Chains A and B, each alone.
Chain A
Amino acid sequence: MPQQQHADGPAPVIAPGYTYATVTDKISAIVLTRRTPRWWFVGAALMFALVMLLLYAVAYLLLRGVGIWGVNIPVGWGFAIINFVWWIGIGHAGTLISAILLLLRQEWRTSINRFAEAMTLFAVACAGLFPLLHLGRPQLFYWLLPYPNTMGLWPQWRSPLVWDVFAVGTYATVSLMFWYVGLIPDLATLRDRSQHRLAQVIYGFLAMGWRNAASHWQRYQTAYYLLAALATPLVVSVHSVVGLDFAAGLIPGWHSTIFPPYFVAGAIFSGFAMVMTIAIPLRRVFGLEDFITMRHLNNMAKVMLATGLIVAYGYLIEIFTAWYSGNQFEWYMTVNRMLGPYAPAYWLMIGANVVVPQLFWSRRVRRHVPALLVISIIVNVGMWLERFIIVVTSLHRDFIPAAWGMYVPTRWDWALYVGTIGLFFALLFLFVRLLPAISIFEMRELVAESERHGEAHPAPRAGEAV
């Protein structure tokens, strides 16, 4: 059983016995010296095969047009938008961990922030494909940007889809900068520690001559905190804008004022599920149990529980307001979700997002690693279903019964979706191999901090009760 919480301070976020040198060596060794494990080649090959599938699906789509998908006239938004919202949502946990938890001075973020930020970037990269590809004429995507042109035309500023361009563009740029700024001191570490001339040059180039000077650190920290303070409202706004894609519409089931906060909560919920899905295998195969401790997993489970409850509340309020509105279309939309042709998806979603996460109330479940992995995968599926329900069930039966239809995804919908999963994990595989998956300098800071705490509480922690 892991150690219980100390009376004055929380359980350590790093296993005892580490020094500046050992944390540095341990994390940089994964990139620099340790032999690439066989599973990496197997996994990376598999994921690159899926990237090929993605490229094939995209090429065929560009050749033949969006008609190869299952979208039709009532349901114009199919997998493309479902997957867009799903991927963007996954990205949000990374920013939450790196920015919001930094502002709240949660030191347990340190060992998970780097790969959570990487996860954000790769998820946004996957998400960014869909809005472009689902355009009927993707080659004209640049018409969404404001630039002086010979046609004298501007984007239509009142459309949430134009807001999306700005929101996702800003989000991708800011996340990339935040991630890169966080990497610079670690790139300098890799530059100083690598033995290969080529690696020294590449890491040295990327580190831009970072030399750990105290005056640089001072400005660096200021910049890092300011970025965190800017990323926090950004992350809330991005998924709110995504929520407005729906909420600004008139469709029953979409036109709901609760969407912006409820989408943000859902994004954090699904994002933490993905962080957990990645963290558990990562700590195991690289032997990082000392850095990504049970306390991290436990806290992530608690965040998932909290946001999961907000999502469950959102479901409840949607049903309540549909009934309370006295609007026959709203009420029919709700009944149709529960009992209509897509009812199995609805009930699976309720099971995966509302019922299963309640297991996190139990401390035993929160400390059981395989259970955490299984539940987080279930939540990922459940949150995908949530977007499916919102997009499809609202559209396929709305105001005019003559315009009712069904949406059945084709194999090209699936190929594109599975392909982006491949792209996501392929990038993640490259990332863990080429860059430090855990922030090295922040771990050194943590070591310094735990030493200071050690002086403050000279009594040994082991054996102390609750």
Chain B
Amino acid sequence: MAEFEDGEALLRAARAAREQGYRRMEAYTPFPVEGLPEVLSVRGRRLPLIVLGGGLVGGATGLLLQWYAAAVNYPFNVGGRPHASWPAFIPVTFELTILVAALSAVLGMFALNGLPQPYHPVFNVAEFSAASRDRFFLCIEATDPRFDLQETRAFLETLGARGVFEVEP
């Protein structure tokens, strides 16, 4: 794991590591750095689909629930209005669409990120606590086929890092 002073340096380092053939790596930054997910080839196409699905489920449930309750299960004359009075069903349908979509956005994000996960090996590096303040880290994982403790360490040191640390599992 290498520590950098700013996002630009990290971005350059990540590109260099990619050119070297490293694939299993992760960067840690105090805020989202533009362009970094592309370099690390992180794809994020699943979450919007999950949210869309959640919204559709919520909306369909809302509309069907109201229709079933008011027109099928217990039809009841309220103020002389028709049983399936669909305009009056729109507000609840809408709110449930938003509710389920928002829930799936948050829970989907947690699930895809594997949160909550209180323990992770990167926390073993004492300097890593600065990742939430002003330091940028690039971590090459030992599972990478090109990983070699000495070689990778030497490579990271060529990138102009402030420090290179070994992450205890």
**B partners with A:** yes
A284 an interface residue at 8 Å Cβ cutoff? no
Instruction: Name the interface residues of A140-194: CB closer than 8 Å to any CB of B.
Output: 146, 152-158, 160, 162-163, 166-167, 169-170, 173-174, 177-178, 181, 185, 188-189, 191-193
Interface residue count on the B side (C-beta < 8 Å): 61
Q: Give the size category of A's interface with B.
A: 35 or more
CA distance A203 to B30 in the complex (A): 17
Distance, CA A224 to CA B69, complexed state (A): 35
Given contacts A152-B73, A215-B37, A217-B32, contact A448 B7 (CB under 8 A): yes
Contacts of A372 in B (CB 8 A): none
Cβ of A20 within 8 Å of any chain B Cβ, yes or no, is yes
Per the bound structure, the CA–CA distance linking A441 and B79 in Å amounts to: 53
User: Which residues in B have their C-beta under 8 angstroms from that of A215?
Assistant: 26, 37, 40, 42, 113
Q: Which residues of A contact B69 (CB under 8 A)?
A: 146, 154-155, 157
Instruction: Find out whether the CB atom of B91 lies under 8 angstroms from the CB atom of A177.
Output: no
- Please name all residues of chain B whose beta carbon is closer than 8 Å to the beta carbon of A214 when the two chains form the complex: 26-29, 32-33, 36-37, 40, 42
Segment 193-243 of A: residues with Cβ below 8 Å from B: 193, 204-205, 208-223, 226-227, 230-231, 233-234, 237, 241
Q: Once bound together, how far apart are the Cα atoms of A437 and B99, in whole Å?
A: 26
The yes or no answer to B47 lying at the interface (CB within 8 A) is yes
Contact A204-B118, Cβ < 8 Å, known A152-B73, A217-B32: yes
Q: Is the CB of B47 within 8 A of A226?
A: yes
User: Assuming A219-B112, A444-B30, is B70 touching A163 (CB within 8 A)?
Assistant: no
Q: Is the CB of B116 within 8 A of A220?
A: no
CB-based nearest A residue for B137 = A212
In angstroms, how far is the closest chain A Cβ from the Cβ of B166? 17
B115–A209 touching, CB < 8 Å: yes
The residues of B that contact A153 with a CB separation of less than 8 Å are: 74
Q: Mark B49-77, 1 if CB is under 8 A from A, else 0.
A: 00100010000000001100110011000
Chain A contact residues: helix, strand, loop or mixed:
helix
Find out whether the CB atom of B48 lies under 8 angstroms from the CB atom of A222: yes
Do the beta carbons of A444 and B40 come within 8 Å of each other? no
Residue ID in chain A nearest B30 by CB atoms: A444
A226 contact from B27, B40, B48, Cβ within 8 A: B48
Report chain B residues within 8 Å CB of A167: 91, 95
Whether A162 and B98, one on each chain, are in contact in the complex, defined by CB atoms closer than 8 angstroms, is no
**Among B30, B33, B47, residue most surrounded by chain A Cβ atoms (within 10 Å):** B30
A353 CB contacts on chain B under 8 angstroms: none
Residues in chain B near residue A13, CB distance under 8 A: none
B7–A209 touching, CB < 8 Å? no
Are B120 and A154 touching (Cβ within 8 A)?
no
Q: Min CB distance, A426 to chain B, in Å?
A: 27
Assess A163 versus B92: contact at CB under 8 Å? Given A177-B106, A192-B129.
yes
> Is B44's CB under 8 angstroms from A222's CB?
yes
Q: How far is the CA of A462 from the CA of B13 in the complex (A)?
A: 35
User: Is A237 a contact partner of B115 (Cβ separation < 8 A)?
Assistant: no
Contacts of B30 in A (CB 8 A): 20, 24, 189, 212, 441, 444
Q: How far is the CB of A182 from chain B (nearest CB, A)?
A: 11
Contact among A152, A158, A209, A219 with B117 in the assembled complex (CB-CB below 8 Å): A209
Contact A211 B92 (CB under 8 A): no
Verify if B149 is at the interface (C-beta below 8 Å from A): no
B140 interface hit (Cβ, 8 Å): no
Question: A166-B91, A173-B102, A223-B109 known; 20 other A-B pairs, CB under 8 Å?
Answer: A20-B134, A24-B132, A24-B134, A158-B78, A167-B91, A170-B96, A174-B99, A177-B106, A193-B133, A208-B118, A212-B29, A212-B131, A219-B112, A222-B47, A226-B51, A230-B105, A231-B102, A237-B94, A241-B91, A441-B31
Which A residues are closer than 8 A to B by beta carbons?
Answer: 19-21, 24-25, 146, 152-158, 160, 162-163, 166-167, 169-170, 173-174, 177-178, 181, 185, 188-189, 191-193, 204-205, 208-223, 226-227, 230-231, 233-234, 237, 241, 244, 441-442, 444-445, 448
14 pairs of residues in contact across A and B, judged by CB atoms under 8 Å: A20-B31, A152-B74, A174-B102, A185-B31, A189-B132, A209-B115, A209-B120, A213-B27, A219-B109, A226-B48, A226-B51, A227-B106, A233-B98, A241-B95
Closest 8 pairs (CB-CB, A-B): A208-B116, A20-B134, A154-B69, A223-B109, A192-B129, A214-B27, A21-B134, A209-B117
Q: Which residues of B approach A to under 8 Å, CB–CB?
A: 7, 26-33, 36-37, 40, 42, 44, 47-48, 51, 55, 65-66, 69-70, 73-74, 78-79, 81, 85, 88-89, 91-92, 94-96, 98-99, 101-103, 105-106, 108-110, 112-113, 115-120, 122-123, 129-134
